[in-house]
Amino acid sequence: MIQINNLHKSYVMGSNSLHVLKGLDLDIDEGEFVSIMGSSGSGKSTLLNILGILDDYDEGSYYLGGKLMQGLNETKAAMTRNEMIGFIFQSFNLISFKNAVENVALPLYYQKVSRKKRNLIALEYLDRLGLKEWAHHLPSEMSGGQKQRVAIARALISKPKIILADEPTGALDTTTSFEVMDILKEINDEGKTVIIVTHEHDIAAMTKKIIRLKDGVIEEVIKNGDLQLFKDRVRTE
Amino acid sequence: MFDVDVWQEIFSTIKKNKLRTFLTGFSVAWGIFMLMILLGSGNGLQNGVKEQFADNSVNIMWMWTGETSMPYHGLKEGRPIKFKNDDYTFLKEKSEDLELVSSRFYLPGSIMYTYKNEYGSFETSSCHPALKEMEKVNIVAGRFINDLDMTDFRKVIVIGDNIKKALFKDEDPMGKYIKLNNVPFKVVGVAFDKKRQNERTAYIPVTTAQRIFNGADRVHSFAVTTKMVKTAEEADAITEKVRQQMAQRHNFDPADKRAMGSFNMLAEYIRTMKIFQAIKIFVWIIGIGTLIAGIVGVSNIMLILVKERTREIGIRKALGASPASVIGLVLLESILITTVAGYIGLLFGVSIMEGINLAIEQMLATGGGDGMFFRNPTVDFTTAIASTLILIVSGALAGYLPARKAANVKPIEALRDEN
């Protein structure tokens, strides 16, 4: 599903150039449940942005679903994002003056689905996430967990191949965090590739594969079988 | 681009910022309002002046004679120049630049009008039937002088409304006889003109006037209409040509203004209208300047709006909004604000000018407003359409920069923007 070879990315800030990703290689297959970890400055957010086609890279290659993602114009990038990727953000990023249904339906709006039809589909997704009664509430009237569930519904509605979640539990308390992770696990069980960026070990431990970044390269990859070891290590750290 | 959803999005953002939208719109409305007031006033002034010209055909020209003031071909100055009836024939038949011709013979001294016991002194205009059209004589009863009157030397008279009031009071004057210095003339028509209420003029056939008042074939002045031309230069050329023809017939220097005087209304009219053309251009410049101030205001607000909505735009882009759809959103909102606000300004401006027009009309109807230099100060349909188009273009212009800024929003930066 995702193949990354020798990925380089640097940011120019005035006269300084910050080399963030230094020849990163990464393969993620369809249906994987992956978390990307790393301390701040390790390049995990940059990697997520490149994975989400929100940012371009300098060197190397990135294949998404077999297609090279490089030098796309904005319209094409937007289309690819819309079809292939569902985003979940730490701060939910719901549109404040739209109610839950309208927020969830937004990706379908950009696929030119008629209003009636997309609102119907959005309601279905909200129902699946247990938010049917909240369908016509504004984000400001909902709790953090509810907002994140609306955001998840929005990420799912366009039936993307990949769900990219940037610190999806960062703004939530532990109980709600686990609820959200359960939902993401369910989504993964249905066959979708889920990639989470997090710095919380217990959250990462709920995924099936952990990729630890350090200084712009992959430090270690912890696979399913080794997870117990990882959990023990986390406890002692 | 024009589906319900886009409008819904725009209305929801406008509803969120009612005061700001109002203030922005107000500057545009004010610009258009001022433009309408200025244009309307310009039109009013122009129509007022046109009205002054409207006493006569706009292409009327008068010619009269005097004494030569320059020596010519060995003839010395101080010679009297006299038009004759054959000049009329010449002007009527030989001059291709002229259309209608009427000659006038000045009646000697002051003519006393008498009817029964009433009498008074009035101005007598001897003329050809064509004068009715040339000086726009408004007949309210009977008829004007006709060709038969001319050929039969009929003693008929068309009297002005004031003469009728002075001599006949409430009596019907038609068919009655008025004595002009003891010569009876039959009243065949009454003329009335709102604008010439103070004029006390009567019209008689010039042929009759010449015969009765010993004029022989003497003509004192001509009123003619020239063919319609577009420029003052062409009108002047006609004057010059006629002057030369008359100079040749009567042996005087064509440049001698004292030998023959002339006034070409069309040339004056075109020159005056040219001034108004300039005023109009000036008004447009001022109006558009005001409008530009409004546009800058809208543009400014839209920029702030885009800045405030950076995060939202970022979310939309992450979810698959193309740059075109983002541009459309900002541009349409900008166009909507300017068009709606502008239209309100337009309506207000036009309404005020229509109101003023109504007041003027009422004043004129009740007999006031004499010599008013302000008429029908309204803006025509074409101008209103042009203004509407300008508004839409303005909205697009105002929205252009903000829309481009919005299109350039990078989703990552927008999503990072923590507020």
Only one residue has tokens 């952990």, namely A210
Instruction: Tell me the average pLDDT across B97-106.
Output: 92
- B21 CA: distance to closest CA in chain A (Å): 17
pLDDT digit string (tens) for A8-38? 998 888 888 888 888 889 999 999 999 999 8
ipTM of the complex: 0.88
Lowest-pLDDT range, A63-72, B54-63, B69-78, B359-368?
A: B359-368
Tell me if residue B94 falls in helix, strand or coil.
coil
In tens, the pLDDT along B275-291 reads: 888 988 888 888 888 87
Res A112: pLDDT? 87
Going from the C-alpha of B255 to that of each of B60, B65, B241, the distances in angstroms are 21, 13, 11
pLDDT at B172 over 70: yes
C-alpha B91/C-alpha B134 separation (Å) is: 15
Of B319, B322, B415, the CB nearest to A75: B322
Distance CA B317, CA B135 (A): 74
CA distance A35 to A201: 10
Q: Do B418 and A54 touch (CB under 8 A)?
A: no
Instruction: State how far the Cα of B397 lies from the Cα of B331, in Å rounded to an integer.
Output: 9
Strand partners of residue B275: none
What integer pLDDT is reported at residue B95 of this predicted model? 83
Report whether pLDDT(B418) > 60.
no
Greater model confidence, B42 or B144:
B144
Instruction: Give which of B295, B335, B402 is closest to B14, Cα–Cα.
Output: B335
* pLDDT value at B141 more than 70: yes
Contact B315 A110 (CB under 8 A): no
Residue located via tokens 């229509």: B354
Q: What percentage of residues in chain B have a pLDDT greater than 70?
A: 95
What does the mean pLDDT of chain B come to?
86
Whether A54 contacts chain B with CB within 8 A: yes
Residue of A91, A107, A115 lying closest to B320 (CB–CB): A107
Which among B219, B65, B51, B58 is positioned nearest to B134, based on CA atoms?
Answer: B58
Nearest Cα to Cα of residue B330 among B312, B348, B351: B312
- Chain A residues whose CB is inside 8 A of the B412 CB are 49, 54-55
Per-residue pLDDT tens over the stretch A74-108:
889 889 999 999 999 888 889 888 889 999 999 99
Element at A34 (helix H, strand E): strand A33-37
What are the structural domain ranges in chain A? 33-58+74-236
Quickly state the pLDDT bin for B419 (edges 50, 70, 90): very low
**Rounded CA separation B391/B52 (Å):** 35
| Burial of B401: CB neighbours in 10 Å, binned 0-12, 13-18, 19+ | middle
Q: What is the mean pLDDT of residues B133-138?
A: 88
Query: Residue A112 has which token pair?
Result: 């030119």
**Which among A55, A75, A95 has the least Cβ separation from residue B315?**
A95
pLDDT of residue B215: 84
pLDDT for residue A237 is more than 70:
no
The least confident of A89-103, B16-30, B232-246, B356-370 is: B356-370
HEC string for B265-317: HHHHHHHHHHHHHHHHHHHHHHHHHHHHHHHHHHHHHHHHHHHHCHHHHHHHH
The confidence band for B416, taking pLDDT boundaries of 50, 70 and 90, is low
Distance from CA of B361 to the nearest CA of A (A): 53
Q: Which of A222-236, B259-273, B335-349 has the lowest mean pLDDT?
A: A222-236
Picking from A144, A219, A141, the residue whose alpha carbon sits closest to that of residue A177 is A144
How far the first Cα of chain B sits from its last, in Å, is: 29
Among residues B264, B150, B269, which one has the least CA distance to residue B210? Answer: B150
For all residues of chain A together, what is the average pLDDT?
88
CA torsion sign, A44 to A49 to A50 to A56? negative
Between these two residues, A162 and B4, which has the higher pLDDT value?
A: A162
Q: A110 touching B, CB under 8 A?
A: yes
Parallel, antiparallel or unpaired: strands A209-214 and B83-84: unpaired
Q: B320: part of which helix (H) or strand (E)? A: none
Backbone angles phi, psi at A165, to 5 degrees: -120, 120
Mean pLDDT of B218-240: 92
**pLDDT for res B206:** 94
Which CATH code for domain A33-58+74-236? Answer: 3.40.50.300
* Interface with A, mutate which of B319, B327, B405, B410 (most A CBs under 10 A): B319
What mean pLDDT do residues A208-224 have? 86
Closest CA to B246 of B405, B389, B365, B83: B83
No. of helices (H) and no. of strands (E), chain A? 8, 10
* pLDDT reported for residue A56: 87
